[in-house]
């Protein structure tokens, strides 16, 4: 059977660029992986008021995933940080065998969460203590301390150029769907994370019933050690290196 297409859903602020290193290493670790797609958050780079909300982010992810499923493509969704719960909100009836997926034979067959926030249906999005609000724009309060503390300085300086704001508003919604209830999931837990504390990640992984893989990294392992992270993701897929 052919390898699945990998859909990468970024977290806040940086868009898809930091994940390019992960993709490069995944291709080296598992040459059968050839198809990667990014489903960026539509709210990144937008400010309040009148901004896209978390619901718009989930819909934007869905708009990337749905045509692939309708084309009969098997997908694994990799969600990092906020991209975890947002991607799980986006796949209703698009999982393997579900209503919209079954006719094509495609569908989402697994989630892989990296240091991800996970919410059950009906749960409100929690306050974000790491958000520094300036007018209608929300930024990471201290990127060097929270995001890049274990990232090589040269790499950190390169990727900080891609920082964009998130809206200050639009996060007070409730989770409406959880795709991880329909298909298996894996959770890569970053033990040195300063954004989503490891104990919170433990709770999130338990909520989703995910297989847990622990890594000695901060919140941005795709920058601090992309080769190590790639091997862990490939392992979650059950592919041989």
Domain at 5-237, CATH from 2.40.50.140, 3.40.190.10, 3.40.50.1820, 1.10.10.10:
3.40.50.1820
Which residues are bridge partners to 170 per DSSP? none
Residue 240: its pLDDT value, please? 58
Residue 241: its pLDDT value, please? 53
pTM of model > 0.85: yes
Lowest model confidence (mean pLDDT) among 57-71, 127-141, 190-204, 214-228 = 127-141
Question: pLDDT tens digits for 115-144?
Answer: 999 999 999 998 888 889 989 999 999 999
Please give the Cα distance from 102 to 94 (Å, whole number). 8
Asked if residue 90 has pLDDT above 60, the reply is yes
User: For the residues 92-109, what does the mean pLDDT come to?
Assistant: 97
Please give the Cα distance from 221 to 228 (Å, whole number). 8
DSSP state of 123: P
Residue 132: its pLDDT value, please? 93
Q: Which two tokens stand for residue 202?
A: 């433990």
Percent of the chain having pLDDT more than 70?
98
Element (H, E) at 25: helix 19-29
DSSP-derived secondary structure for 159-197 = HGGG---EESSS---B----GGGTS-EEEEEETT-SSS-
Question: pLDDT tens digits for 24-83?
Answer: 999 999 999 999 999 999 999 999 999 999 999 999 999 999 999 999 999 999 999 999
User: For the residues 158-178, what does the mean pLDDT come to?
Assistant: 94
Residue 175: its pLDDT value, please? 96
């Amino acid at each position: 059977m052919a390898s699945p297409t990998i859909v990468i859903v970024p977290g806040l602020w940086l868009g898809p660029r930091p994940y390019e290193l992960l993709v490069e290493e995944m291709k080296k670790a598992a040459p059968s992986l050839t198809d990667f797609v990014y489903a960026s958050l539509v709210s990144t780079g937008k400010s309040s008021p009148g901004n896209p909300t978390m619901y718009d982010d989930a819909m934007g992810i869905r708009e990337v995933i749905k045509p692939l499923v309708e084309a009969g493509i098997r997908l694994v969704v990799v969600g990092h940080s906020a991209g975890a719960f947002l991607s799980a909100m986006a796949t209703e009836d698009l999982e393997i065998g579900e209503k919209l997926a079954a006719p094509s034979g495609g569908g989402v067959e697994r989630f892989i969460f990296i240091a991800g926030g996970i919410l059950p249906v009906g749960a409100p999005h929690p306050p974000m203590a790491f958000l520094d609000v300036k007018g209608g724009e929300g930024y990471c309060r201290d990127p060097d301390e929270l995001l890049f503390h274990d990232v090589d300085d040269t790499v950190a300086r390169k990727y900080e150029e891609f920082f964009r704001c998130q809206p200050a508003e639009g996060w007070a919604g409730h989770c409406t769907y959880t795709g991880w209830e329909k298909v298996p999931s894996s959770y890569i837990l970053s033990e040195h994370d300063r954004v989503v504390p490891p104990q919170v990640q433990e709770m999130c992984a338990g909520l989703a019933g995910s297989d847990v893989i622990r890594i000695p990294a901060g919140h941005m392992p795709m920058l601090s050690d992309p080769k190590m992270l790639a091997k862990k993701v490939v392992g979650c897929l059950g592919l041989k290196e």
